[in-house]
């Protein structure tokens, strides 16, 4: 009966999280500033992350840092986990006899701690963050202290995080579309993330919100849904 049902299918609705995507936060390519490398940004972020904390973001940061290799020998002297009030986590690190401070968290919070950041540097960071956010990424900012003063923070870079599609999601969806089946994506995520993922797996980028359907009668709701790629 399942084969018969599949043969008569016209529209298939797929949940985004866990079906199209892996339901796992993953660090994408870091953005680096002021002479820092991508490896520097990921390593510093890992220093300000809690091992064994079961925090999805910290786990993603640590996994990424482990894949690219550890920067240098270090000893973490102190660690303050992320809190909603502070909007950041931080650590004091000792490496080669010197101590420095690393901070990871909300962009505005981290920027406010980088007292020596120029207007041009701030504009560059905010522009990069806007571009990444427009693609649906969640953004973490990373900074470290410079010199002997642990309060003199320098913005090292940004870490974009996303829940990526399964490796075979695009191929599966394209194959079903070739069979004449319309694919629609359903999600509770914000519309920027929905559009980015739907485009990436060849569903399309015409995503509507539930508010666009509320005041329509049933037939118009159906028409609008079929004109778009998800909601």
Q: 98-105 and 31-32: which strand pairing?
A: unpaired
Q: Which is catalytic among the residues 15, 34, 149, 168? A: 15
- Nearest Cα residue to 136 out of 91, 187, 85, 62: 187
Tokens of 209: 């919100």
148 catalytically annotated = no
- ∠ CA 99-39-157, rounded to 5°: 75
Please report how many Cα atoms fall inside a 13 Å half-sphere around the Cα of residue 128, on the Cβ side: 21
d(CA 103, CA 141): 8
> Is the distance from CB of 42 to CB of 30 less than 8 angstroms?
yes
Sign of the Cα torsion 223, 191, 196, 134 reads positive
> Is the distance from CB of 111 to CB of 141 less than 8 angstroms?
yes
Helices and strands (DSSP H and E) totals, the chain = 8, 9
Residues marked active site are found at 15
């Amino acid at each position: 009966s399942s084969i018969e049902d599949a043969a008569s299918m016209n529209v298939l609705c797929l949940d985004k999280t866990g079906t199209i995507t892996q339901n796992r936060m993953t660090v994408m390519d870091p953005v680096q500033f002021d002479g820092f490398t991508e490896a520097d940004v990921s390593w510093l972020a890992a220093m300000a992350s809690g091992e064994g904390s079961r925090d999805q973001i910290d786990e993603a940061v640590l996994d990424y840092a482990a894949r690219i290799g550890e920067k240098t020998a270090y000893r973490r002297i102190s660690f303050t986990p992320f809190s909603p009030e502070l909007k950041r986590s931080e650590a004091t690190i000792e490496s080669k006899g010197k101590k420095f401070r690393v901070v990871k968290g909300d962009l505005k919070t981290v920027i406010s701690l980088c007292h020596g950041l120029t207007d041009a540097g701030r504009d560059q960071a905010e522009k990069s963050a806007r571009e990444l956010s427009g693609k649906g990424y969640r953004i973490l900012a990373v900074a470290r202290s410079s010199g002997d003063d642990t309060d003199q923070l320098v913005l090292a870079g940004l870490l974009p995080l996303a829940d990526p599609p399964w490796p075979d999601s695009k191929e599966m969806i394209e194959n079903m579309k070739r069979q004449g089946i319309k694919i629609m994506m359903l999600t509770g995520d914000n519309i920027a993330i929905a559009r980015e993922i739907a485009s990436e797996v060849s569903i399309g980028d015409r995503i509507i919100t539930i508010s666009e359907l509320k005041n329509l009668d049933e037939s118009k709701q159906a028409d609008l849904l079929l004109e778009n790629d998800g909601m």
